[in-house]
Amino acid sequence: MAKIPLRTYLQEIERLVDSHRIDEAVAHSRYILQFYPKYIDVYRILGKAYLEVKRYGDAADILQRVLSSLPEDYVSNAGMSIIREDEGNLDEAIWHMERAFEIEPSNSTIQDELRRLIGKRDGIEPQRIRLTRGALARMYLKGDLTQEAITELRIALTEDPNRLDLKALLAVALNRLGQRVEAIDAANQVLLKLPNNLDSNRIMADLLAGTDRDAEAQDFRKIVVELDPYSNFVSPSTPLAEQVPNQAVSLERLEWKAAPTQPEISEQPVWATPLDSASTEAVSSEETVPEWLSSRQDIFGQADLIGEIEEIPVL
């Protein structure tokens, strides 16, 4: 079989999901997980695939785990909002959509969705959505106003100490300013609750390397590489995983063949057997997720709902 760059493979699988070829997308995703069992981008695609066919139990299980590693994931938060609204839990649906708003406060579609959810719960839609401290902090970080971002994050965490997404963002901001001790402390606090948080593991790996805690740094680096295989190829010329060339990681493509009598998507996956089987019914293409979610990527999930990636049995 011919090899294909891993990122290219994932892009092809996403197109399968967008084309509603869910069985095939799931088969390819699970195949990749045999080689990279913690690769978080694969789980994001799986969550989106199950969301497309309203397998909400499976989708929620996966998306919450994605959020434990990537607090800034838009698809996972928006997906969780859809799921919680379907369950009738409007408070949590609003909570997740608020996280989406914090990431992209100027996104008019997100604003409309958030207003709609609030109106559905309270009986009246707000005229406008106010910026939260989390939204302000992210805007400051994008504008290289790191100290201002840190100030907003500290105030926000005083108001709500359970916001682990903001704690992880604080660690990133502190690291950016070179405040190593405080960055390590913030990252460590996140990892006590979310041991697979990608940014916090990366910070610990980078800041502890070459110190008397170098052995610990290697352990953190191992987790980073497990979550994102391209991180294994960062270098002074390509310091960020997203800068690593696509071809740095490749594998042979699965030769998938459809099984028309027993399509995989109609079966409960091995690693999701504890979930409610009532959520596994397929739906028509008219009942898929909104277009505004299908065309976007990236936000965060609620801390007490997040599981650990290593709890996911793979195949």
Q: Which backbone phi and psi does 5 adopt, to 5 degrees?
A: -55, 140
pTM of the full predicted structure? 0.81
- H-only helix segments in the chain: 6-18, 22-35, 40-52, 56-69, 74-86, 90-103, 108-122, 133-142, 146-159, 164-176, 180-193, 198-208, 214-227, 291-294
* 251 phi, psi to nearest 5 deg: -155, 165
The pLDDT value given to residue 100: 87
Can you give the pLDDT at residue 273?
32
Residue 7's contacts (CB-CB under 8 Å, 6 or more residues apart) are 230, 246, 249
What tokens appear for 22 in the block? Answer: 């869910």
The residues, any chain, with a CB within 8 Å of residue 157's CB and separated by 6 or more, are 163, 166, 167, 170
pLDDT value for 274? 33
> From CA 92, how far away is CA 302, in angstroms rounded?
8
* Relative orientation angle of helices 198-208 and 164-176, to the nearest 10 degrees: 30
CB 266 within 8 A of CB 22: no
pLDDT of residue 271: 33
Closest CA to 194 of 225, 163, 222, 173: 163
Task: Give the per-residue pLDDT at 107.
Answer: 86
Nearest to 179 by CA among 207, 212, 144, 210: 207
In 3D space, the residue among 22, 52, 47 whose CA is nearest the CA of residue 289 turns out to be 52
Q: Hey, what's the torsion of the CAs at 254, 241, 18, 289, to 10 degrees?
A: 130
CATH superfamily of 3-311: Tetratricopeptide repeat domain (1.25.40.10)
Other beta carbons less than 10 A from residue 277's beta carbon: 13
The answer to whether 306 touches 196, Cβ cutoff 8 Å, is no
pLDDT of residue 103: 87
Phi, psi of 250 (to 5 degrees): -145, 160
Residues (pLDDT < 50) of the chain are 261-288, 292, 294-315
| pLDDT for the residue numbered 172 | 98
- Which uninterrupted H or E stretch holds 248? none
Q: What is the pLDDT of residue 309?
A: 33
The confidence score (pLDDT) of residue 210 equals 94
**Alpha-carbon span 278 to 255, nearest angstrom:** 31
